[in-house]
Amino acid sequence: MNARTYAATVRRVLAQLLGDRRTVALILVVPALLVILLSFVYRDYPHGEQLFERIAVIMIAVLPMAVMFLVTSVTMLRERASGTLERLWTTSLHRADLLTGYATAFTLVSVGQSLLLVAVCAWGLGVTIAGSWGWILLTALLDAFVGVALGLLVSAFSRTEFQAVQFMPVVIGVQMFLCGLLVARDEMPRGLEVTSRLLPMSWAVNAVTEIRSTAETTAGLVCDFGMLAVIGLVALAVAPITMPRRTR
């Protein structure tokens, strides 16, 4: 891995992202606005406050991955469609330098997303948890990193931006159904419960649920963090292998 080409890639992608106001709004503002909208949905609902606090915390484990997956996969396809990647392949740039640079840039942008989302929940909407909001923030960051890594991986199997978007129901939609957002995982049919254990969003939801209910840093919480990091790193390691050098 070449440090100079890696750093140059990070700077280029960050400049490109920050220069696109719509993308910045999608990454930073939309998740927080969705949680605010959710608070109004439950405002007049019986026991709505308790339900909202549970779901709001879970959404911190859902939205960063979903948004970063979408933005990363579409951006990579746009780079390929414009010929940018093919031109870069003609240089000495290694695939690992390129994709790691992309992952770093997107993850850095997701820091602002996670900070704003946590701030809105903790101080704007008054959501209370037993544990530390710092752990919630770490979960959101790991969650976003996994979304970035999966987005890079999936982009290798798409030919157009539309095909990249088509992966959303498969990669993200299934996880949203099985992560424990709608039904507790231990109350699902056995097959679905076992499947949910393989999905990174389930580990993220496990983490925020535990942080919400207890102030202790348990072995289970550390395991959740570890699994998210490992899944993200594995996806990021596989992405350069599958990334084509030519636009098909």
pLDDT tens-digit series, residues 14-48? 998 888 889 999 999 999 999 999 999 998 888 88
Weakest-pLDDT range from 12-21, 104-113, 200-209:
12-21
User: Band of the pLDDT at 59, cuts 50, 70, 90?
Assistant: very high
Q: Where are the chain's structural domains?
A: 3-242
Read off φ and ψ for residue 198, nearest 5 degrees: -90, -5
Q: What's this model's pTM, rounded to 2 decimal places? A: 0.91
Q: Which amino acid is at 164?
A: A
Helix axes 3-18, 95-119, angle to 10 degrees: 40
**Alpha-carbon span 71 to 147, nearest angstrom:** 9
**Alpha-carbon span 123 to 87, nearest angstrom:** 47
**Alpha-carbon span 183 to 131, nearest angstrom:** 23
**How would you class 38 by CB atoms within 10 Å of its CB: exposed for 0-12, middle for 13-18, buried for 19 or more?**
middle
Report the alpha-carbon angle 120-68-112, nearest 5: 40
User: pLDDT higher for 94 or 17?
Assistant: 17
User: Band of the pLDDT at 210, cuts 50, 70, 90?
Assistant: very high
Query: Is pLDDT at 247 greater than 70 in this prediction?
Result: no
Query: Is pLDDT at 83 greater than 80 in this prediction?
Result: no
